[in-house]
Structure 1
Amino acid sequence: MATSSDSTDPLEDILDEAIDKTDGGCASVQDILDSFGSQSLGPVILLAGMIVIIPVIGAIPGVPSIVGLSVFLFSVQFLVGKRSIWLPEAIRTASIERQKLKTAQEKAAPFLRWADTLFTERLTFMSSSVMERVSAGVVTALAAAMIPMELIPGAVAVPGWAMIFFGVGLMARDGLMLILAFLASLGTVYLIASVLL
């Protein structure tokens, strides 16, 4: 299996890695962060987006809010250059059952294998260190928006897809995916505005 830093199949591999980190039948938020490292923005937000959009997991009440708050705290600390990410104990110990991860993996496997063939290194100027910081800033806003958006059925899928595009773009140095991520982020803004106005 490829590692999170040099994955050639990021969508398939990210779930494999999360399953590998289960302890006693569950994978905690802290286990997942420890496996990717505090400076690994791409894998963390990719997995967060996948958790939110896969119905087997994302439809569980409270999961989108926990994911949103976790990513918000992670990305803020990433932006200021923290070497070690701090999370409240309630979030660090929040966990996902191994079986739910495996079920999600099995259901999504055909799509993930197909999707992984679409990613390649291109438009690499979009994945520079500066753009990584810009991406982290946008992800911070998406994560914050995800918490109230859980109240709207299916709405968290929009920022969820944006996080997936950001994660894949950063991991695979795929600038096209990052462009799609920014467009999906605009979709989140539009969705929020349409509800509030």
Structure 2
Amino acid sequence: MTRENTHALSDVLDQLEDGLTDEQVCVRDIVDASGRSSFASLILIFALICTSPASTIPGLTTATALIVFSLTTQLILGKKSVWLPDFIMRRRVSRKTIVDGIAWLRQPVRFVERFLKVRFTIVFERPWLWGSLSLILCLTLFMPFMEVIPTSGSIASGAIAMFGAGLLARDGVLVVISIAELSVVPLVIWQVGFV
């Protein structure tokens, strides 16, 4: 495996951390630091932020859902450059919160990277990719309601992050695993919230 594949996720975190310089970070800063043409990186970053301790911030799950919904829709439409509404681009969070979240994510990301490789790439071809993206779209529609159930937003975001990681590293097996997780997330959240 090349370094590009084995360290793809850590490289995204490094790029994000190095690109954030102000004490208050807005979504526009994250998009610019990650690259406006890198949909996979942005899906991964925002989903990971929502799985980190930063997920306790009120409204973060809803904001993540809006962003991932927009990014996924643009992927389905074949857009080449990221566009997000200005009210989302202006949303702010402290740099320390983002950096602390990145530090918390380092160890699990390094663990996942040990298994990454380019394989089963047929899932990245249309119409197969559309199926995965459609599942993510459906899940993001329910994520705002998960604000009332502790940890449920993190569970949903974890499945989306796995998809983003697979897309970024061209690891089709990881994407298939994420699809399986995306399919059972509603049941898991029901169990967490109501049992």
More helix by share: 2
* Rounded Cα–Cα distance in structure 2 between residues aligned with 1:105 and 1:36: 14
What TM-score does the superposition give when structure 2 sets the normalisation length? 0.84
Hey, what does 2:65 align to over in structure 1? Answer: 68
Matched, 1:82 2:79: yes
Q: Distance in 1 between matches of 2:106 and 2:75?
A: 30
Q: Give the counterpart of 1:114 among 78, 103, 111.
A: 111
Which of the residues 22, 29, 32 maps onto 2:30?
32
Secondary structure, counterpart of 1:187 in structure 2 = helix
Q: Distance in 2 between matches of 1:111 and 1:144?
A: 27
Measure the CA separation in 2 of the matches of 1:96 and 1:14: 19
Give the fraction of aligned pairs with identical amino acids, expressed as a percent.
27
Whether contact under 8 Å (2:6, 2:114) holds in the other structure is: no
Could you say what the CA RMSD is over the residues aligned between the two structures, in angstroms? 2.6
Mapped partners of 2:121, 2:73: distance in 1 = 24
The unaligned stretches of length 5 or more in structure 2 are none
CA deviation string 1:134-161 (max 9, x = no partner): 3322222222221111211111122212
1:134–1:44: structure 2 CA closer, same or farther, 3 Å change rule?
A: farther
Which residue of 12, 15, 37 maps to 1:14? Answer: 12
Task: Give 2:93's aligned residue.
Answer: 96
Of 122, 125, 140, 2:122 maps to 125
Contact 1:132 1:170 in 2 (8 A): no
Instruction: State whether residues 28 and 93 of structure 1, in contact with CA within 8 Å, keep that contact through their aligned partners in structure 2.
Output: yes
Q: 1:116 to 1:18 in 2, by over 3 A?
A: same
- Kindly tell me: are residues 161 and 49 of structure 1, through their superposed partners in 2, closer, same or farther at Cα, counting changes over 3 Å? same
Q: Secondary structure at the match of 2:63?
A: helix
SS at match of 1:74: helix
Alignment of 1:59 onto 2:38: no
2 CA distance for matches of 1:80 and 1:110?
A: 35
Decide whether the 8 Å contact of 2:24 with 2:93 is kept in 1.
yes
Single out whichever of 134-143 and 80-89 deviates more from structure 2.
Answer: 80-89
Q: State the distance in 1 between where 2:104 and 2:81 align.
A: 34
1:134 equivalent in structure 2: 131
Mean Cα deviation higher: 133-142 or 180-189: 133-142
Q: Decide whether aligned partners of structure 1 residues 86 and 102 sit closer, same or farther in structure 2, where only a CA change above 3 A counts.
A: closer
Could you say if the C-alpha distance between residues 96 and 127 of structure 1 is closer, same or farther in structure 2, counting changes exceeding 3 Å?
A: same
Aligned length: 192
Q: Does residue 1:46 correspond to 2:44, yes or no? A: yes
Residue in 2 that maps onto 1:185: 182
Deviation at 1:184, TM superposition (A): 1.0
Moved more, 45-54 or 182-191: 182-191
Query: Is contact 2:16-2:34 (8 Å) kept?
Result: no
* Alpha-carbon distance in 2 for matches of 1:162, 1:173: 16
Deviations 1:82-119 (A, max 9, x none): 34444332211113322122222223322322221121
Q: Extract unaligned runs of 5+ from structure 1.
A: none
Q: Distance in 1 between matches of 2:30 and 2:128?
A: 24
